[in-house]
Amino acid sequence: MATGLVYSPLFLAHRPVGYHPENEERLSRSVAHLQGAGLWERVRHLEIAPADEASLARLHTPEHIDRVRRIAGAGGGHSDPDTYLSGESFAAASLAAGGACAAVEAVLGGEVENAFCLVRPPGHHARPAGPMGFCLFNNLALAARHLQEEFGLERILVFDFDLHHGNGVQDAFYRDPGVFYISLHKFPFFPGTGAAGERGDGRGRAFTLNIPLGWRISAEEYMEHFGAALRRARDYRPQFVLLAAGFDAYTFDPIGNYCLEEHHYREITRRLRELATESCGGRLVSTLEGGYHPTHLPRLITAHLEELL
């Protein structure tokens, strides 16, 4: 079985004016590195289409969708001080969301065993009612909704190892026992959410697991917390595994500057892939979130994809 890859040159058209850490070189350099490493030919490149308005509305409000379309249609601007749009941003964000949904379809349909979505803009901070933290539409949360509404899945694991808490994913499923959201993240840190006491509400109580980590921890401590989270994930017996693959906990990341090295990301990916194999026949889709080192990020993405392969 092959590993699928979601990518389009349109993702490069989402461009800031001036410097911004979330820029098109994150993907262009990564594509070049994957090609040089011989992985570009080893994956199955998946056909993708933009998420239509009805699909986006499974998670996002009409006002939110219209606002992204309007700002992009006017040539770009900012939805908040951190989050920019250019003229092609609505198209790129819609395609990123559609790509994540196409990836889960390809896995469920047996076309590929697992898939990595090399997309931008990222998604896990995007809330139902608005963009946030470089994110316009919540790619991974929309893929989870797609699995629920189109395929009837009842136990979906979203495992988020980005340095930042994925508040948008948490908001989307806080009352939903059908999605178990697990996040390891630096705390207190942007976006300010993700305390250990945030565990879900109503029927979703205990289906959110936040593991807030201090500002100064070792990689060994991080991996101990990861192992504990993995045990909880295994007990859930997921029918599908979704990964919010952020690489900003890397030790040299300009935003994160945290504690992980390349071999830790390999181990994290390998163990999550093993979990998917044990629980749901290997059904796993990963989407790119954070990670901002211009030359090291491509190596981390390559390591992640090698382990999926």
Q: What is the pLDDT of residue 146?
A: 98
* 185-195 average pLDDT score: 98
- C-alpha 171, offset from chain centre: 15
Instruction: Give the model's confidence band at 66: pLDDT under 50 very low, under 70 low, under 90 confident, else very high.
Output: very high
> At what angle are helices 25-36 and 297-308 packed, to 10 degrees?
50
* pLDDT for residue 1 is more than 90: no
Q: What angle do CA 257, 36, 292 make, to 5 degrees?
A: 20
At 249, which amino acid appears? A
* 150-167 average pLDDT score: 98
Average pLDDT value over all residues in the chain: 98
Catalytic residue among 125, 146, 185, 296: 125
Torsion sign across C-alpha atoms 176, 177, 180, 185: positive
Q: What is the pLDDT of residue 210?
A: 98
**String of DSSP letters for 26-73:** HHHHHHHHHHHTT-TTTSEEPP-----HHHHTTTS-HHHHHHHHHHHH
* pLDDT for residue 89 is more than 80: yes
SS3 category, 95: helix
* 214-236 average pLDDT score: 97
* pLDDT for residue 173 is more than 90: yes
At 276, which amino acid appears? A
* 204-211 average pLDDT score: 98
Q: What is the pLDDT of residue 297?
A: 98
CATH number at residue 195: 3.40.800.20
Q: Please write the tens of the pLDDT for every residue from 11-53.
A: 999 999 999 999 999 999 999 999 999 999 999 999 999 999 9
Active site residue 14: no
Sheet of 284-288, strands arranged across: 44-45, 3-6, 114-117, 284-288, 240-245, 156-160, 179-186, 208-213
CA–CA dist 26, 307 (Å, integer): 20
* 238-249 average pLDDT score: 98
SS3 category, 130: strand
Count of domains observed in the chain: 1
* 221-243 average pLDDT score: 98
* pLDDT for residue 194 is more than 80: yes
Domain around 78? 3-308
